[in-house]
Structure formats: structure tokens, C-alpha cells
Amino acid sequence: MTTRWTAVVLALTLGCGGSSTPTSTPTPTPAPTPSATFTIVSATPVASGTISLPPTPGEGSRSPTVDFQFTYPRDLTLGVGNTNFQIALSKGGVDCMATQIAYATRLDRDDGVYVANSVARFRTNFWVQRDIAQYRCGTTFTTDQLSFNMGPSLPVSAGLPALVNTGWNFVVR
């Protein structure tokens, strides 16, 4: 009879794990979330160069010319009315000049298709002065930052909006 009780106790002990120490389940390591990036490839004139602006703010400016690229972690349809971007040149947090996708040339392909995590490359073509009626930045100003932002309705992702500390001197002549 003791052999039988020993077998039952042994079976119950083994069936319960044989230990009073709880075991933990390993947690999977999350995969890193792809992030968006923005990089200036080249700019003309170089940062700190001087750019002449027309006397009438509505005429805008073709300078500076900025070649840039970005990546985003999901597929997009690029274009006005779809996924747009804005680049602004600011002075002390105030946007002085801006451009968007409609005033840029895509350099890596000739359509609005963007494949997740690929590099999309653009060149700016035309800038407009902000708040034309108020001449908010004045007729002579030096920008201290370039910002890049995508939208509308894109989820916030690491890397965007992007700020680059660079500057140009603008003079209305």
C-alpha cells in the first residue's frame, strides 16, 4: 500500500510541476518601429548666403534651391489633396518663407507613388513669403531654421517634423 501512495504522491508532484517556484514566460522583444527621416542633400546658395527678394512679396522667390530626401514607414500617395509636405524657413520661430509639394520637383521618379521606407528625393522650385500683407519678417531678415512637415492626417512618427538649423540672409531689393 505504501508503494501505491508513493506513486500517487509522486504523480501529483510531477503533474503540478514539482516546484513551488512560479515560472515566467519570456516576453518577446518588440521590433524597432521604422521612423521617418528628412535630410538636406544640397542647397544653393550655401547656408548663410544672401538671397535677393522681389519688392512685391507676392512674386515669391526661386531661391534658395534645396535638394532633400525623406523616408516614411508606410506607403503614401504624394501630391496636393493627398499627402503633402511643407518646408518653411523661419526666424525666431516665425515662418518667413514656405514651399510645398506643388512647388517642388520629384527627382527619384515622376509620379505620386511612395513605397514604405524608400527614399523620395525632391528639389524646391518656388518659395512664397508668409503673411504678405503684414511683412511679418520684414524686408531684410535672416532665417535660422528650416522645418519639414508632412500631412495632412499622418500619424506622428519619430523623425518628423524635422528641423534643421541653417540660415540664409534675405534682402528685398
Calculate the average pLDDT of the chain. 80
Share of the chain above pLDDT 90, in %: 40
C-alpha grid cell for residue 12? 501529483
Q: Which of 30-44, 60-74, 145-159 has the highest mean pLDDT?
A: 60-74
Domains and their CATH numbers in the chain: 34-172 (2.60.40)
What's the residue count for the chain?
A: 173
3-class SS of residue 71? strand
Residue 142 has pLDDT above 70, yes or no: yes
User: What does the alpha-carbon distance between residue 20 and residue 75 come to, in Å, rounded to a whole number?
Assistant: 51
* Mean pLDDT across 150-167: 76
**Top-confidence residue, 128 or 9:** 128
Sheet with 140-142, edge to edge strand ranges: 50-53, 169-172, 140-142
Q: Which of 13-22, 90-99, 100-109 has the highest mean pLDDT?
A: 100-109
Burial 48-80 (b: 16+ CB within 10 A, else e): eeebebeeebeebbebbebbbbbbbbeebebee
Q: Please give the model's pTM, rounded to 2 decimal places.
A: 0.75
User: What does the alpha-carbon distance between residue 39 and residue 87 come to, in Å, rounded to a whole number?
Assistant: 12
**Residue 59: band (very low, low, confident or very high) from pLDDT cuts 50, 70, 90:** confident
Residue 163 · residue 37 · CB < 8 Å: no
